Amino acid sequence: MSRGLGWPVLLVMLAAWLQTTWLPSLPLGGEWPDLVLVVIVLTALAGGLDAGLAAALSGGLLLALAAPAGGLAFVLSRLLTALWLVSLRNRWSRDNLVVQVVAVMLGTLACELAFAALRPAVLQHADWATRVGCRVLLNAPLAPFVSWAVARLPIEEDGLAR
């Protein structure tokens, strides 16, 4: 296991705090960005398997505590998203801003689909697809800012210290 995994967890905790206190006061279309998910996606893309799973597990657990109805679905959907993105990271130029934005958009979509597969009741809402599309578009502009923060974390990338 890599050293420095506490840093992604700390960034996820900060994102969770912002997501549960500040972001709900700024809804757009009845939705707000999923800052925790953006941190998970970009940590998995930049830091690799250990950092991505640490961020996904901590983020999923924090969200499960904040919204117990989602519970295990929060944890598993984020873990699956991190694993998928780690598998793609060697094919993508991780330092490219366009790649980061696309990764956030695809990661958001994948996570929402995984969550819906684990909790089919969310599909009962008539506006589910609209809400997912809105969340994808709200998460994308956060990529440059979160990527900047993730790039400054002292985590090891595939066994190589940054």
Q: Is residue 32 part of a domain?
A: yes
In a domain, 161, yes or no: no
Within a domain: 21: yes
DSSP 28: B
Stated pTM of the model: 0.88
Q: Confirm whether 53 is domain-assigned.
A: yes
Residues 20-44 pLDDT 10s:
888 777 777 778 889 999 999 999 9
Name the token pair of 48: 């690799």
Q: Is the pLDDT of residue 161 over 70?
A: no
∠ CA 146-150-156, nearest 5°, is 160
In a domain, 162, yes or no: no
2 pLDDT higher than 80: no
CA torsion 107→56→100→144, rounded to 10°? 120
> What one-letter code names the amino acid at 116?
A
Domain span at residue 74? 6-155
What's the pLDDT tens digit per position in 95-127? 889 999 999 999 999 999 999 999 888 778 888
Q: Is the pLDDT of residue 162 over 60?
A: no
Phi (first) and psi of residue 28, to 5 degrees = -125, 115
How many domains is the chain built from? 1
Average pLDDT, the chain: 86
